[in-house]
Amino acid sequence: MSNYELMVEDTFSAAHQLSGYEGKCENLHGHTFRVQVFITGDKLDKIGMLVDFKMIRAELKKVLDEFDHTNLSDLPLFKEQNPTAENLAREIYNRLEGVKPSKITVWESEKACASYSL
């Protein structure tokens, strides 16, 4: 079990539509997605950090910039799958370089989120 857990959060704005969904979400609509990256571990470096927050923020920003102000449904990544919060969480997890997240949580609204972890 890990002794430390870090969390860094950022947001991006994007539109999407959910193919095959029976309801309003089948239509094009937008969200300001809130993304949280969690990193766990038990060994700190020589200055007392698990991972520098600055590095986590920079890596997250690189990934989120790919999605920001786009229609997610038009991206090649989402041609075979819907751009749901669940699929976004997995894709963000897999695209982060330089940091190994323990979990990614994507908030679609203030009251609804999806998480992905291995």
Q: What is the pLDDT of residue 33?
A: 98
pLDDT along the chain (118 residues), means of 10: 92 97 93 98 96 98 98 96 98 96 97 97
E strands present in 18-102: 29-41
Query: What is the rounded CA–CA span in Å between residue 103 and residue 61?
Result: 16
Domain ranges of the chain: 4-116
Query: What is the rounded CA–CA span in Å between residue 109 and residue 80?
Result: 24
Q: What is the pLDDT of residue 2?
A: 75
pTM comes to: 0.94
Choose among 48, 51, 46, 43: nearest CA to 96. Answer: 51
Residues designated as active site:
25, 69, 110
Q: What is the pLDDT of residue 30?
A: 96
CATH hierarchy code of domain 4-116: 3.30.479.10
